[in-house]
Amino acid sequence: MKITVIGTGYVGLVTGTCLAETGNDVTCVDCDREKIDMLCRGDIPIYEPGLTELVGRNAVAGRLHFTTDLDSAASTAKFIFLAVGTPPAEDGSVDLSALNVVVDQIASHLAEDAVVICKSTVPVGTNAAVAERLKELTGRECDVASNPEFLKEGAAIDDFMKPDRVVIGARRKAVADSLWDLYQPYLRTDKPLLVMSPESAEMTKYVANALLATKISFINETANLCERAGADINDVRRGIGHDSRIGFAFLFPGVGYGGSCFPKDVLGLAAVAREHGVAPLILDAVDEVNNRQKYVLTEKIERHFDNKLSDKTIAVWGLAFKPGMDDVREAPALTLIDRLLDLGAILRVHDPVAIDNVRKEYGDKLIYCTRPDDALKDADALAILTEWKEFIHPDFEAMRRIMRQPVIFDGRNLYDPGQMKDAGFAYYSIGRPAVS
């Protein structure tokens, strides 16, 4: 099938590449000439395991193309996926300006049987608005479907190729059937393709992310209570996780969620609720708890050093908002860095892949280290913000020799407090008694 994907950000590039992998002829379009030139050279502008190889293979096979020529790409496509950015506005609502520009641009180039598919995360009613706008511009009814993405950064290729489910919002059965044909290769293990109204599909994306964010904020708030009450959040988590109604997913305490999805989707759904006269009490609380949680580790550091950090060197392991990617948007590590810099601390930072993105924001304000041990040199403490696997089994004896003081602030509960006591470290984690 002839497919055009507009937008080569995280969602667009993964979607286009995976669709090409099953034999489709895919053209990815972006207005950013530098990004398109990079992709044509085989360089990938984002970090996602396996994506470089997949792009290269399909480009060489002639199934995957990159261009800035939107008009030409739109005119020959059966399916046109809209995967442009929909960032949050200052009030938390969704900025649809980029999407609207693209809709206006493709209108005069749509084939009669073309299906426009909203892949971007958009508020309820966007599909209907796009369909109405295309009707105004073309003078005919145009098929507009909704197909929200459920990709986890760091596992996006597997999520696309082996989805839990595919959600389709369509007003005509013929459109739903054509998308079933497109997605059938990815649903060979009897995973469902769920057909519903576009409004329900749009809502499904927001509700899924908001509910997962709620689980994270809930366990984090519970962890803070456990710490005050003398309980251990890991024991509590195991005690509730074996309840089949609850489960373990997204019940790991830490320093809050980040990234490009959860923060903006919680705010976006709350904005939609307000527009419809519904007070988003739970969503507002989820966001507030998460924002507070990002300061929990910093507050532990300040208390340990009696608020005297101007002469202290702090090592930071982990900058990305979660392992397996270089994405630092809304990352808890940045909240900690900002606060410690304000207090005059010297920061030696390390991350396996996100260093360059942090350097773009902070320049020479930080000391960037290519190896975890380099960050520990003369450090008065170590703060762990991302649970990269390489941090799980360090040489604690070697760490004590390198550091000025054996103190660890673990924002991801990677280590056992008893083990840290035996190793001679002062150890602070989330929702568990401190080791002093």
- Give the tens place of pLDDT for each residue, 348-399: 999 999 999 999 999 999 999 999 999 999 999 999 999 999 999 999 999 9
- For 122: left if phi > 0, alpha if psi spans -120 to 50, otherwise beta; the answer is beta
pLDDT band at 260 (very low <50, low <70, confident <90, very high): confident
* Cα atoms in the Cβ-side hemisphere of radius 13 Å centred on 250: 16
SS3 187: coil
CB atoms under 10 Å from CB of 76, counted, come to: 14
Average pLDDT of the chain to the nearest whole number: 96
Pick the closest to residue 293 from 385, 361, 206 (CA basis).
385
Q: Which structure tokens are listed for 417?
A: 């407090």
15's enclosing H/E stretch is helix 10-21
What are the residue numbers of the active site?
A: 261
pLDDT band at 290 (very low <50, low <70, confident <90, very high): very high
CB atoms under 10 Å from CB of 145, counted, come to: 25
Pick the closest to residue 117 from 183, 162, 163 (CA basis).
183
Contacts of residue 172, defined as CB under 8 A and 6 or more positions apart, other chains included, come to 143
Q: Could you tell me the CATH superfamily of domain 2-196?
A: NAD(P)-binding Rossmann-like Domain (3.40.50.720)
* Cα atoms in the Cβ-side hemisphere of radius 13 Å centred on 331: 26
Does the structural domain 294-428 have CATH classification 3.40.50.720? yes
Q: How far apart are CA 362 and CA 349, in angstroms?
A: 11
Show me where the domains of the chain are located: 2-196, 206-292, 294-428
Pick the closest to residue 376 from 392, 357, 400 (CA basis).
400
332-342 vs 296-304: helix crossing angle, rounded to 10: 30
pTM over 0.85, yes/no: yes
Q: What is the pLDDT of residues 139-158, one digit of tens each?
A: 999 999 999 999 998 899 99
Is 294-428 in the same CATH topology as 206-292?
Answer: no
pLDDT band at 190 (very low <50, low <70, confident <90, very high): confident
Q: How far apart are CA 291 and CA 285, in angstroms?
A: 10
Virtual torsion, Cα 123, 128, 129, 132, nearest 10 deg = 170
CATH T-level topology, domain 206-292: N-(1-d-carboxylethyl)-l-norvaline Dehydrogenase; domain 2 (1.10.1040)
Q: What is the pLDDT of residues 87-135, one digit of tens each?
A: 988 888 999 999 999 999 999 999 999 999 999 999 999 999 999 999 9
